[in-house]
Amino acid sequence: MGVSKQVIELYFKQLQDDICVELEALDSAGRFREDLWQRPGGGGGRTRILEGQVIEKGGVNFSAVHGVLPQRIAQVLGVAAVHFFATGVSIVLHPINPYVPIIHANVRYFELEEGTWWFGGGIDLTPHYVEEEDARWFHRQLKAVCDRFDAGYYTRFKEWADNYFYLPHRHETRGVGGIFFDRLGAEAGFDKADRFAFVRAVGEAFCPIYVPLARKHKDRPFAERQRQWQALRRGRYVEFNLVYDKGTRFGLDTQGRTESILMSLPPLAQWKYDYHPPEDSAEAHTLKWLQKGIDWVT
Amino acid sequence: MGVSKQVIELYFKQLQDDICVELEALDSAGRFREDLWQRPGGGGGRTRILEGQVIEKGGVNFSAVHGVLPQRIAQVLGVAAVHFFATGVSIVLHPINPYVPIIHANVRYFELEEGTWWFGGGIDLTPHYVEEEDARWFHRQLKAVCDRFDAGYYTRFKEWADNYFYLPHRHETRGVGGIFFDRLGAEAGFDKADRFAFVRAVGEAFCPIYVPLARKHKDRPFAERQRQWQALRRGRYVEFNLVYDKGTRFGLDTQGRTESILMSLPPLAQWKYDYHPPEDSAEAHTLKWLQKGIDWVT
């Protein structure tokens, strides 16, 4: 054991710093703007927003909050309404070039006064245009990270992401998925140090995964048609985040800092009534990939 | 009594027709596109969408659905899970000119096999730029409609709209409100014919209220700055509809026709991190009006 919440919080802060440095290097023009905020009930955070030339709008947020767990949240979690502590880093990047995918990543730690604790997190990719090769590469990177810790992690967390990042009303996954996990506690022979090591590896995999993908496509020529499609796909991103995403709901329900929570929303989004891309177009091909249960690694 | 569901359904269909005719006259260029759809569980609807030169994207939907009430919905309503019938007309218009307000209106009827029935509905206005004179005129029209039926209706339904069309995470009302009512059944000396007469009056007030407001501003010059602000305010509209609106949630939860439900979303919306309009600007003045409890009629 021996992993205190202070150690985890400090690590997450450092992770935010490191990721911001690498993303500024990727963008080369944009610089992160930082807003420090305090939560009336206890704790606070560092919201960092980049509006650059590669990343149209991106957020890398750190927070560490504590206080009395709201009764309603306690019920949902199935725990007593006691003091809690929660810390994490949350990232959403909306690139300018439609050939560069949207990415989301999150690592988080939750602890209750009476001793319960768990980690959660994940990384998932939402290409406006799905390229099979990229999606396979992305999933293989995630699998390599998972395999260093447990042979069963990737399969389990990939399926979890498929089910979590899903829009039932559209019969579509949000993108090509990735990994998602929650409530990783001291079970199955894993102690807190093991879980923390895994979560660190996920956090540290973010830049080595996203930066090459972004570099590969950031200078690819595009036209108005691709920007239009990007805006429509961003509309789906908005639908997922506002209707289904548990983190967003939790944040809004617990009077979190709205601008930090909703940094995940795209700079611009479009809704066109009953739009269907032309058959056999790149856009139509992308839609075919937006389903659960695709094996990207074998 | 003597008001059957068939009579109400036919009336709502006619109302949809009449409103579409008047909105096409307002737009002068755009024509409604109609999609007929059927609900697998029973019933269906007529979705009509206009993309014109005054209305950038507008929907006037009629539906009449029936079947077995989903268990979860029955619980929320506090009724037994029996056969239900629901019919209504729902309107959302997103104009091109930022000085023309967004409007939403709805009239609906709900009936259970065992005899319970009620009406619901309302009209509310969401100006991108609040003009006090227009908002006062709008509320006075609604009050005049209400006063024909009950001296207490306007006050009660205006307050209901204030509370319903509210974004707690923004500490903002969606717009200048209007009237909202639900579950108007046979209480307080009102029978079904009385309630139906009121709901008809609300439906028939829609065009005489919106068309003059739209005509007043539709040719007013605007620039990129006003369109930007409009896109940001539309972002708030998306937030309300996807996070809080009960009709949207109900529709998505009961596997309604997604494109008909989400016709309420704007053609284009924007999110800018922590944006605050310049002090004393028209945009800043608008924000001051977005609060509950404003008396617009005395």
- Write out chain B's pLDDT in tens, 298 residues: 479 999 999 999 999 999 999 999 999 999 999 999 999 889 999 999 999 999 999 999 999 999 888 777 788 777 776 899 999 999 999 999 999 999 999 999 999 988 889 999 999 999 999 999 999 999 999 999 999 999 999 999 999 999 999 999 999 999 999 999 999 998 888 999 999 999 999 999 999 999 999 999 999 999 999 999 999 999 999 999 999 998 898 888 877 899 999 999 999 999 999 999 999 999 999 999 999 999 999 9
The pLDDT value recorded for residue A20 is 98
User: Which residues touch B90 (CB under 8 Å, ≥6 apart)?
Assistant: B59, B60, B61, B63, B105, B106, B108, B247, B264
CATH of the domain spanning A5-289 = 3.40.1500.10
Are A59 and A79 contacting, i.e. CB atoms less than 8 angstroms apart? Answer: no
Is A116 at the interface with chain B, CB within 8 A? no
Residue indicated by tokens 């009077």 = A255
Residue in B168, B259, B268 nearest the CB of A268 = B268
Distance from CA of A250 to the nearest CA of B (A): 12
Residue in B170, B262, B271 nearest the CB of A271 = B262
Hey, what's the torsion of the CAs at A179, A81, A5, A17, to 10 degrees?
60
Residues of chain A found within 8 Å of residue B273, distances taken between Cβ atoms: 33, 49, 51, 57, 59, 259, 263
Contacts of A166-169 with C-beta under 8 Å, sequence gap 24+, read A166/A244, A166/A292, A167/A236, A167/A239, A167/A240, A167/A243, A167/A244, A168/B252, A169/A239, A169/A243, A169/B252, A169/B255, A169/B258, A169/B261
Could you tell me the CA-to-CA distances from A56 to A35, A36, A96, A207, B60 in Å, in that order? 18, 22, 5, 17, 35
* A60 bridge partner residues: A48, A91
Chain B: residue whose CA lies nearest to A272: B267
The pLDDT value recorded for residue B264 is 96
Residue in B169, B262, B273 nearest the CB of A263 = B273
Indicate if A217 belongs to the active site: no
Is A231 at the interface with chain B, CB within 8 A? yes
Query: Which is catalytic among the residues A94, A104, A128, A217?
Result: A104
Residue indicated by tokens 């709900």 = B110
Residues in chain A where the model's pLDDT stays below 50: 1
Residues of chain B found within 8 Å of residue A239, distances taken between Cβ atoms: 242, 262
Mutate to test the interface with B, among A257, A273, A274 (most CBs of B within 10 A): A273
Residue in B169, B266, B270 nearest the CB of A271 = B266
Is A255 at the interface with chain B, CB within 8 A? yes
Determine the Cα–Cα distance for residues A88 and A229; give it in Å rounded to an integer: 32
Handedness of CA A232, A234, A238, A241 (dihedral sign): positive
Q: Which amino acid is at A25?
A: A
| Binary contact (A271, B267; C-beta < 8 A) | yes
> How many CB pairs below 8 A link A and B?
75
Is A52 at the interface with chain B, CB within 8 A? no
| Binary contact (B265, A252; C-beta < 8 A) | no
| Binary contact (B273, A49; C-beta < 8 A) | yes
Q: Computed over its alpha carbons, how large is the radius of gyration of chain B?
A: 19
Distance from CA of B9 to the nearest CA of A (A): 25
Are B132 and B289 contacting, i.e. CB atoms less than 8 angstroms apart? Answer: yes
Is B242 at the interface with chain A, CB within 8 A? yes
Chain A: residue whose CA lies nearest to B256: A169
Tokens representing residue B279 in the block: 């002090």
Mutate to test the interface with A, among B271, B272, B276 (most CBs of A within 10 A): B271
The overall pTM is greater than 0.90: yes
Distance from CA of B50 to the nearest CA of A (A): 10
Distance from CA of A265 to the nearest CA of B (A): 6
Using N-to-C axis directions, what is the helix angle for A192-217 and A132-147, rounded to 10°? 160
Residues of chain B found within 8 Å of residue A35, distances taken between Cβ atoms: 274
Chain A, 153 to 172: residues with Cβ < 8 Å from chain B are: 168-170
The pLDDT value recorded for residue B41 is 86
Distance from CA of B88 to the nearest CA of A (A): 20
